[in-house]
Structure 1
Amino acid sequence: MYTIKAPFIKSWHLIHSTGCIPALSTGLLIAWPSPSIPKIINDKKHYNITEAEASYFSFLNAIGPILLSPIASQLCDILGRKWTLMLSAIPHAITWIIKAFCTDLNALYTARAIGSVGDTFMYNALPMYIGEISTPKVRGIWGNGLICALYLGLFLINTIGAYCSIHATALICLVFPVIFLIMSFFIPESPYFYAMRGDDIATLDSLKKLRGTEDVESEFSKIKSGVKRQMSEPRTWKDVVMIRSNRKACFAGVFLRVSQNFCGLITFTVYAQYIFENVGNTINTKMSSILYTGLTFVCYLVACYFSDKMGRRLSYIISLSLCTIPLFGIGIYFAMKQYDNQRDLTVVEFIPLLCMIVYIVAASCGTGLVPTLMLGELFSTSVKVKCLCIVTTFFSLTYFAANNTFYYLSHSIGIFAPFFVFGCCNILSAFLASWIIPETKGKTLEEIQQILKNSSKS
């Protein structure tokens, strides 16, 4: 009994941890502007870049997913999930090389755009890969592990970027895509990909490596029959819309990603240092952003093991509702600071940091975890790449829109404005979630498809 269990645990965690490295790399790139923009706009000797010009760094990493998702999603079916994921390491490495050695504005813009290509491969391939290699029992934990890796990247870039130069930070971050590119040669391809191709031998071999045992016949039979049934369904772009179960799954995925962006989650991380700079003199900007992103990672790591017990839909609704409170709290503080000049707010300058911490805890219960997790669960094998392409495109468009919303509202009206906007979006999303999001906890991928079909008939 123990001769099987020990290598199973070792290989299982190694495979999943390796697969999550691209998410960590994406997290590094997403939050790079937070510690870097203040340094760049203040370093006129090397960069000579204005704040307005630097603000585009926060938006350019949405270009790749918007333009290239159709290509990346198709590669998942042509090359496989693993090899598409491996491709993410190349543009991720290139972007850090450019940032390490170039100071020209256009070169940095190009680096952000190239990095977004790697993000495109990651967003399309990783949820699919994790969802397909995991058993129903642990899919919640490892699906959440993906977002934990991303937030680890957010924490690392804020910490490294706070105390290292732009050049040194880029060279340190270059290590991660290189490590992934090497280690990815030793992880197996998804058994679902081989089952789609009708390669029984490769499917069995993949399952044996993933489970650490030779006894995989039962799971092999379920995967083979489920994939065969799903692949027999119509699989054109038209069928994503015309077949009700596909439409329901795709709409749920789009809703999850759009509502996640407009709850302010990633935006506040990108602008963490900017937010704390506007609080007052008693708040240490660097330490506050490090504390914020570090606590975010810890909360998500803990939530991985507990959020799955509540169920996807309920945890998402509760999380959205709870996130509304600190958002309005921060909005009220900044509104008072802007319009009530006679009131001394020094003694309550801790409120934004406290609210951001409360926001982190609330978001870790569902808002930050559920959307990414469910992308690996919702879609039929026949249209999975097409649905993920659509969802990723909407995610990138609304990511771009949410960051622009924060930037322009905070500069044209006041920094309080985006907090009120995102708080109202949370209320609306929590109200709609109970009708749009299906429950997938503890279900196999085939069982989830049957649930979607049955709900579509009712």
Structure 2
Amino acid sequence: MAMNRFGRRGALLFLAIPCIVAWLLIALGTNVNVLYTGRFLVGFCVGCYTIIVNVYIAEIAEDKIRGMLGFMFPILISSGVLYTYVVGAFLPWQYFTLANIIFPVALFVGMYFVPESPIYLLGKGKKKIAGKALQWFRGAVTFDNIENELQQMQHFVEDTAGKKVSFKDLLAPAVVKPTLISFGLLFFQQLSGVNVILFYTVDIFRSTGSDIDPSIATIIVGVVVVVSCLISTPFIDRMGRRILLVFSAIGMCISLAAMGIFFYLKERNNDVIPENLGWLPLASLMGYILSLNWGYGPIPWLMLGELIPTHVKGSASALVTTLNWFMCFLMIKTFEHLAMQLGMYGVYWFFSSFCFVGIFFAYFIVPETRGKTLEEIQAIFK
């Protein structure tokens, strides 16, 4: 993989180029095949980013703030969703697409001035450069300030380096367990309906028949997404991953069940909004978003970088992320069909039931990683 061959930083720099080209193809394309090509490239780049960014953050962060830094990724994703809702409501799609080019350009410029992951550099035998990179990340005045941490990283890399990854390595219990847990977290994230709700927010509000303008309601949801991420960030390294996942699943379960109740009562009332319940769809969605961003939204991506062993991180992370985006595609593609078969209320109760199961998965299966080094985390599975 590019991440293992060119480094985490190098891969991010490289991916910015096809991402810029992709947005240009979408904005300036003159036929549907060009649009398909551009859209495929954007999706490809985003899928790669989700792997590389979380691995990079996990490797450069201090153990005590790794969770907080890991939340930066979903915060920026949430900001991008809000940006889409706001700008997309006022600009034609061609101009909106051109405006998106600023983001891969900013990524390229920003990453150009940031060092490579010290763990990756140590794995390539570049201890001196790794020391300088770690010193930069920690803001250390002298090498002595980071010498002990660099030595710990060196031991960690020596334990996992030099192993040529084979299919048999991916089946080792110390790899299978964290990989399955990582996939399980993303599985319950997708089956909570997150991407369906974000993609179809305008249509969802339109279908409620509420007096609230769908575009305004969508922007309100986008604001709640960003604010909830910001509010929850300090708690990830105080309360721990597992307890936040449990409370997150409980909140999503209740919110989606309430949304299902609204659509059920609306259908039983001859498709007329039940009296005094016009507020319920927006309140339920805000409750869902708040709950999501306290746990099952950002934490699966954070733990993907924490749980999977370094020597198989590229291959295993790619496998998990590919399965995740495949599930995302299936959920979005089948949403309208599910709504016709189950009714809108049935779809939300379907999502709610998976959130309920996600409570027990988080409590009984997911290990707590708060405050642990990557070496200590991987020792859990040995």
CA distance in 1, matches of 2:47, 2:201: 24
Shift of 1:451: 2.1
* 1:264 matched to 2:202: no
Counterpart position of 1:238: 168
TM-score with structure 2 length normalisation?
0.95
What is the percentage of aligned positions where both structures have the same residue? Answer: 29
Q: Quick one: structure 1 residues 104 and 337, their matched pair in 2 at CA, closer, same or farther if it must change by over 3 Å?
A: farther
- Per the alignment, residue 203 of structure 2 pairs with 274
Report if aligned partners of 1:313, 1:433 keep a CA contact under 8 Å in 2. Answer: yes
Q: Which residue of 2 aligns with 1:168?
A: 95
> Is the 8 Å Cα contact of residues 327 and 420 (structure 1) preserved in structure 2?
yes
Segments of structure 1 that go 5 or more residues without pairing to the other structure are: 1-73, 454-458
Partner of 2:184: 255
State the one-letter code of the partner of 2:367: P
**CA distance in 1 between partners of 2:311 and 2:46 (Å):** 24
Q: Secondary structure at the match of 2:75?
A: helix
Q: Which amino acid aligns with 1:409?
A: L
Match of 1:380 in 2: 309
Inter-CA distance 136–103: structure 2 relative to 1 (3 Å threshold): same
8 Å contact 2:182–2:304 — kept in the other structure? yes
Amino acid at match of 2:128: I
- Counterpart Cα distance in 2 of 1:178 and 1:344: 46
Amino acid at match of 2:63: P
Structure 1 residue 412, shift from structure 2 partner? 4.1
By how many angstroms is 1:237 displaced? 2.3
Per the alignment, residue 440 of structure 1 pairs with: 369
Q: Structure 2 stretches of 5 or more lacking a match?
A: none
Which residue of 2 is the match for residue 361 of structure 1? 290
Where does residue 242 of structure 2 map in the other structure?
313
Q: Shift of the alpha carbon at 1:432?
A: 2.3
Structure 2 partner of 1:371: 300
1:145 paired with 2:93, answer: no
The TM-score, its normalising length taken from structure 1, stands at 0.79
Q: Residue 9 of structure 2 corresponds to which residue in structure 1?
A: 82
Counterparts of 1:142-221 in structure 2, within 5 Å, are 142-213=69-140, 214=142, 215-221=145-151
* Separation of aligned partners in 2, 1:440 and 1:395: 22
Shift of the alpha carbon at 1:340? Answer: 2.6
Q: In the alignment, is residue 225 of structure 1 matched against residue 152 of structure 2?
A: no
How far the C-alpha of 1:281 sits from its partner, in A, is 4.7
The CA distance in 1 between the partners of 2:148 and 2:265, in whole Å, is 63
In structure 2, relative to structure 1, the CA distance for the partners of 1:352 and 1:179 (3 Å cut) is same
Q: In 2, Cα distance between the equivalents of 1:197 and 1:223?
A: 13
- Give the residue type in structure 1 aligned to 2:109: I
User: Does the Cα contact within 8 Å between 2:47 and 2:322 map onto a contact in 1?
Assistant: no
SS in 2 for 1:222: helix
- What is the alpha-carbon distance in structure 2 between the residues aligned to residue 103 and residue 166 of structure 1? 14
Structure 1 residues 343 and 187: CA distance shift in structure 2, 3 A = closer
* Corresponding letter in the other structure for 2:299: V
In the alignment, the residues of structure 2 paired with residue 443 and residue 143 of structure 1 have an alpha-carbon distance, to the nearest angstrom, of 14
Matched position secondary structure for 1:446? helix
